[in-house]
Amino acid sequence: MEAVRRAGPDDVPELERLADLARAELAVERGGRMWRLLHGRPDPLDATVAADLTEAGEGAGVVLLGTYDEVPAGYAVAHLEHLPDGSRMAVLGDVYVEPGFRDVGLGAALIEHAMEWAAENGCRGIDSLVLPGMRASKNFFERFGLTARAILVHRDLEPPDPAP
């Protein structure tokens, strides 16, 4: 059975493990190289996870840990963004479920908890980023009413990295 709870300091090792898996999975997707530079978690992961937990402790974010039969298998991180008109937007920077635990409701539970948190904090909406080749992720978000509101385009001006 899936469950979601707010993460705490004791969860840092699992959050780091999951963040590392997410980062590796996204880095090889179309757009992943630039995503890694602009939006990906830098090393060391423990510092970024600790910063997220601090932000959550200050009420400016939330860190959620998803479990299946009490096994940590997914996480989500969101923070508040203050908009120029004084309203707030929730930005879902991370949402990840290990491949072996997808399609069992864990991702849905994480999104639902994140949306509840956003509503409790008076947010006018919730944003997240999906890379262009990740149709399953796009479809997943659309199930919860998150739809594209902009398309970001990019062209690399550097030659591709040589194959290993």
In this prediction, residue 163 carries a pLDDT of 67
Q: What is the pTM of this model?
A: 0.92
pLDDT-based confidence at residue 164 (cuts at 50, 70, 90): low
pLDDT-based confidence at residue 123 (cuts at 50, 70, 90): very high
Residues 6+ away with beta carbon under 8 Å from 86: none
In this prediction, residue 160 carries a pLDDT of 75
34: its two tokens: 């630039």
CB 29 within 8 A of CB 48: no
- Pick from 11-15, 19-23, 115-119, 146-150: least confident: 146-150
- The CA angle 146-17-1, to the nearest 5 degrees, is 60
Between CA 80 and CA 123 the distance in angstroms is 8
Q: Which domains does the chain have, with CATH numbers?
A: 2-143 (3.40.630.30)
